[in-house]
A and B are shown apart, each in its own frame.
Chain A
Amino acid sequence: MVVKKQLAVMGSALALASAALPAMAGNTGLAFVHGTGKQTDAATDYWTHEMINSVRQGLPNQNLMIVINCDFDQYMWTAGAAGCLADQLHPFIVNNNITDLVVETHSNGGNILRWVMSNPTQDSRYPAIINAIRWVNALAPSSLGTPLADATISGNAFESAVGWLLGYKSDAVRQQQTSWMASYNASWLYGTAGRPALPKPFYHVVGTDVDSSLFDGDSYCGGYHLNVGLEVTQAWLNSCSDGFLDCSSQAGAGLRWFQDKERTAEAEPLSHNQSRRQCFGLDVILRNDI
């Protein structure tokens, strides 16, 4: 018991000491963190191999890459969400001596990463993960939630008012309601306006529009049907949105990297589904960032 406690204290002291140290000579790694949903093969089903294989070309050693597969239908703080992320990311960092980790997150994946970085004492593995991170590229993060989450939960809430009775499948959506994210941003999460900075840079990439014209080939990148749905859901959102999130939500935490049209090929917008796919040169932008 005493030994265990001493080890814990040592761990704590180590974490404290190393937090401010520069990255020692080690390896550069790359991690992809998906958004809401339970993924078992996110490389195929969420990101696509074309996207991943293009981005990883920026790595000195292309093998030092991990695609996270977790159940992000759960609340961000659960063992199945942030805990699962640590289950996969921590051994990847330790076993490969990663000291310079670039993390690409999409949508709610940004919230899960922000949870880990804002709550480093929840799990003894979190400080090591934070120390290894160079920066997070948060692609269309739902940092301030989305009115669409409110709308979808409202439909279900009438049937069963008790959230958890609906099952955890809806928990991530519930958590991304605007007033829920406002509450968590005010006390548990960092990086939003008026709150302390995150321990490592969290750069957001903002999708500003949805193009779903049948006659425009650009609508087909990422899947035409996906974009048709998103164009309609824009009605719930502000004039600047990617079809699922207002631009203000995507830009609500961390540091500005770019808005889609500033960097994409032919200044094409990135819809919410396109910001995780090989669309309009996004993969090359991410590759060159490593």
Chain B
Amino acid sequence: MNLKLSMMAAALAAACSSASAVELLPKQAGDLEPALVAAAKPATQAAKAGAPGQSRDAVALSWASTDAGMAAATPHLAESRESYTIVTGAELAKGVPLHTTAPRAVVRVQAFDMSSPRSNLAIHPQSMTVIDKAGRAHGSAEAMEALVTDDKLAKADLPFAPGTSAFRLHQGLGAGQFKLRADNLGENERFLINVVEPDSPVSLTMQAGAAAYLHGQQLSLTSELRSKDGAKPAWSKLEGYVMSPAGRRFPLTFKNGAGGRMTAQLALDADEELAPGLWEVHAHGQGKARQGDVMRSLRLAFPVAMPTAKLDRKVALADSSGGVKVNFGVEAAQAGRYEVRGVLYGTVQGVLKPIGVAHAAQWMEAGSGSIALNFAPELRAAATGPYEIRELFLLDQGRMGVLQRQQRALVIDERELARSSPRPEKLAPAAPQRTKGS
């Protein structure tokens, strides 16, 4: 069966006498490319619920797009002005510290005990006491504003867990270190204390070195304690771990880096049972700012894929009745639904500009094959060569994997294109889209 398909493919290739080879540009900094291909482990039954539907139909689409950006794949910068701490009922009875660096911090208290309905364990804000720096105890009337009980949060249809209540520290209390006290709780009951400081100048930031990773690559993280007031907060500690979608935990060791930043590296092992979702860094930092002690917690998500397929760098132009059709060779380690997508740039009044987007996806068995990216003829109407294909992606649709990304992928000369897909004599531009202003 496989042999027959290979023969058919060879015959088809021979028949396409108009096809001409072009070269994929060399990989540049920031591009993502697998060194080798490797199969992914199957998903567990439980994890299959989060997987995308998998059609076997080949589907392709192109459309005009003149405002496609050329932004590099900048990794997301996560920023936190909040902290999370887990405390027990016994600790709350003694008073647990609340570190704030700005007035009006929001305090969320969430009951954690799984042995009884959590809504029964919710602490009403009015039964909590805030103790200030001088040791004075303040009841809810003078210490809190905007109290929300768990039933109000539930009525608001918000996704907070049952047993969650919240309040805002009163403006008059200012900032600094306080204690939160609550009585009549089970000693071993657990509570999450979430302190959010939307008005604080001090934040914890974290950024990965790349927007997407592949199995075996090195995750690099950079973290910083920043202050809007210009002062440089000092680190006391930063600790964290990486959690994979399947639940494996990898500890991180942060080291002092340049400019007061902290950095960490981790070799990514994504060879695990497939589970939907992203990898996450969970980090907790402490430091000292001009405003006092700072506590910050942060999570940062990033994708890691098994390199189930790669572009084999064999690229050929093909006839598409005046359009731009490019066959990309794909080497797959395992069967799956793979997609190639890219943005076509053309020369418009001497300037290279985006003119259209094309996507093509199909089911592929393990081995070599190709996926044809076909930009409709009308997209060429307002442009001439040279053309470029940028933002080229190879995606594993079924396993939600970003396998390959190349910012500048291909340069296509007008004469080269004319040999495989001559420009029609009459080429109408794509019909303008109806917009609210038109």
- Kindly report which residue of chain B lies nearest to residue A231, judged by CB atoms: B146
Contacting pair B159 A19 (CB below 8 A): no
- Kindly report which residue of chain B lies nearest to residue A196, judged by CB atoms: B68
Q: Could you jot down 24 A-B contacts, CB within 8 Å?
A: A8-B57, A8-B58, A8-B59, A12-B59, A16-B376, A75-B276, A79-B53, A82-B52, A121-B360, A122-B52, A126-B59, A135-B436, A151-B108, A155-B192, A162-B246, A164-B277, A186-B212, A187-B212, A188-B402, A193-B71, A196-B357, A200-B433, A229-B158, A230-B158
Which B residues from 269 to 316 make CB contacts under 8 A with A? 275-278, 282, 297, 299-303
Contacting pair A229 B148 (CB below 8 A): yes
Rounded to whole angstroms, the CA-CA distance of A21 and B297 in the bound complex is 51
Q: Among A83, A163, A225, A226, point to the contact of B245 (Cβ < 8 A).
A: A163
Convert A133-177 into 0s and 1s, putting 1 for each residue whose CB lies closer than 8 angstroms to a CB of B: 011000000000000111110111111011111001011011001
- Kindly report which residue of chain A lies nearest to residue B84, judged by CB atoms: A154
Rounded to whole angstroms, the CA-CA distance of A227 and B282 in the bound complex is 32
- Kindly report which residue of chain A lies nearest to residue B157, judged by CB atoms: A226
Q: Among A19, A75, A135, A163, point to the contact of B434 (Cβ < 8 A).
A: A135
Nearest CB in chain B: distance from A182 CB, A: 4
Q: Among B108, B161, B361, point to the contact of A122 (Cβ < 8 A).
A: B361
Contacting pair B156 A121 (CB below 8 A): no
Q: Are A194 and B71 CB-contacts (below 8 A) given A20-B376, A127-B61?
A: yes
- Besides the known contacts A75-B50, A180-B301, 14 further A-B residue pairs in the complex with CB atoms under 8 A apart: A77-B400, A121-B397, A134-B434, A164-B50, A179-B78, A179-B302, A183-B302, A188-B402, A195-B69, A196-B357, A199-B357, A200-B433, A238-B198, A255-B436
7 closest Cβ contacts across the A-B interface?
A: A229-B156, A194-B71, A162-B247, A121-B361, A182-B76, A194-B69, A79-B53
List of A residues within 8 angstroms of B277 by Cβ = 75, 163-164, 171, 174, 180
Rounded to whole angstroms, the CA-CA distance of A130 and B60 in the bound complex is 13
B65 at the interface (CB under 8 A from A): yes
Rounded to whole angstroms, the CA-CA distance of A151 and B81 in the bound complex is 12
Convert B154-177 into 0s and 1s, putting 1 for each residue whose CB lies closer than 8 angstroms to a CB of A: 011111110010101000000000
Contacting pair B160 A155 (CB below 8 A): yes
Q: Among B59, B110, B148, B164, point to the contact of A15 (Cβ < 8 A).
A: B59
Contacting pair A197 B61 (CB below 8 A): no
Contacting pair B49 A156 (CB below 8 A): no
List of B residues within 8 angstroms of A23 by Cβ = 434
Contacting pair A12 B58 (CB below 8 A): yes
B387 at the interface (CB under 8 A from A): no
Q: Are A16 and B51 CB-contacts (below 8 A) given A135-B435, A155-B192?
A: no
Contacting pair B106 A235 (CB below 8 A): yes
Contacting pair A152 B405 (CB below 8 A): no
List of B residues within 8 angstroms of A126 by Cβ = 59, 61
Which B residues fall within an 8 A CB radius of A?
A: 46-47, 49-53, 55-71, 73-74, 76, 78, 82, 84, 86, 104, 106, 108, 110, 112, 114, 146, 148, 152-153, 155-161, 164, 166, 168, 192, 194, 196, 198, 211-212, 243, 245-247, 249, 275-278, 282, 297, 299-303, 339, 341, 343, 354, 357, 359-362, 374, 376, 378-379, 391, 393, 395, 397, 400, 402, 405, 430-431, 433-436
Which A residues fall within an 8 A CB radius of B?
A: 5, 8-9, 11-13, 15-17, 19-23, 36, 74-75, 77-80, 82-83, 119-124, 126-127, 130, 134-135, 148-152, 154-159, 161-165, 168, 170-171, 173-174, 177-180, 182-183, 186-188, 190, 193-197, 199-201, 203, 225-233, 235-238, 244, 255, 257, 273, 289
Contacting pair B50 A123 (CB below 8 A): no
Q: Is the interface of B mostly helix, strand, loop or mixed?
A: mixed
- Kindly report which residue of chain A lies nearest to residue B358, judged by CB atoms: A16
Q: Are A158 and B47 CB-contacts (below 8 A) given A230-B156, A235-B106, A236-B198?
A: no
Q: Are A127 and B59 CB-contacts (below 8 A) given A180-B301, A235-B146?
A: yes
List of A residues within 8 angstroms of B395 by Cβ = 187-188
Nearest CB in chain B: distance from A39 CB, A: 13
Contacting pair B114 A159 (CB below 8 A): yes
List of A residues within 8 angstroms of B148 by Cβ = 228-229, 232
Interchain Cβ contacts within 8 Å, total number: 275
Contacting pair A164 B245 (CB below 8 A): yes
Contacting pair B49 A164 (CB below 8 A): yes
- Kindly report which residue of chain A lies nearest to residue B360, judged by CB atoms: A121
Rounded to whole angstroms, the CA-CA distance of A200 and B430 in the bound complex is 13
Nearest CB in chain A: distance from B10 CB, A: 17
- Kindly report which residue of chain B lies nearest to residue A170, judged by CB atoms: B159
Contacting pair B301 A155 (CB below 8 A): no
List of A residues within 8 angstroms of B376 by Cβ = 16-17, 19-20
Q: Are A235 and B112 CB-contacts (below 8 A) given A152-B160, A158-B84, A228-B156?
A: no
Q: Are A232 and B69 CB-contacts (below 8 A) given A78-B50, A187-B303?
A: no
List of A residues within 8 angstroms of B112 by Cβ = 158-159
- Kindly report which residue of chain A lies nearest to residue B405, judged by CB atoms: A187
List of A residues within 8 angstroms of B69 by Cβ = 193-196
Rounded to whole angstroms, the CA-CA distance of A36 and B158 in the bound complex is 11
- Kindly report which residue of chain A lies nearest to residue B397, judged by CB atoms: A122
Q: Among B46, B301, B405, B430, point to the contact of A165 (Cβ < 8 A).
A: B46
Q: Among B49, B62, B153, B243, point to the contact of A74 (Cβ < 8 A).
A: B49
List of B residues within 8 angstroms of A11 by Cβ = 57-59
Nearest CB in chain A: distance from B17 CB, A: 20
Q: Are A197 and B65 CB-contacts (below 8 A) given A126-B59, A182-B76?
A: yes
Nearest CB in chain A: distance from B386 CB, A: 20
Contacting pair B65 A196 (CB below 8 A): yes
Q: Which of A8, A130, A193 has the most CB of B within 10 A?
A: A8
Contacting pair B152 A229 (CB below 8 A): yes
List of A residues within 8 angstroms of B374 by Cβ = 16
Nearest CB in chain B: distance from A163 CB, A: 5
Nearest CB in chain B: distance from A249 CB, A: 14
Q: Are A77 and B52 CB-contacts (below 8 A) given A226-B157, A228-B156?
A: yes
Nearest CB in chain B: distance from A251 CB, A: 15
List of B residues within 8 angstroms of A186 by Cβ = 73-74, 76, 211-212
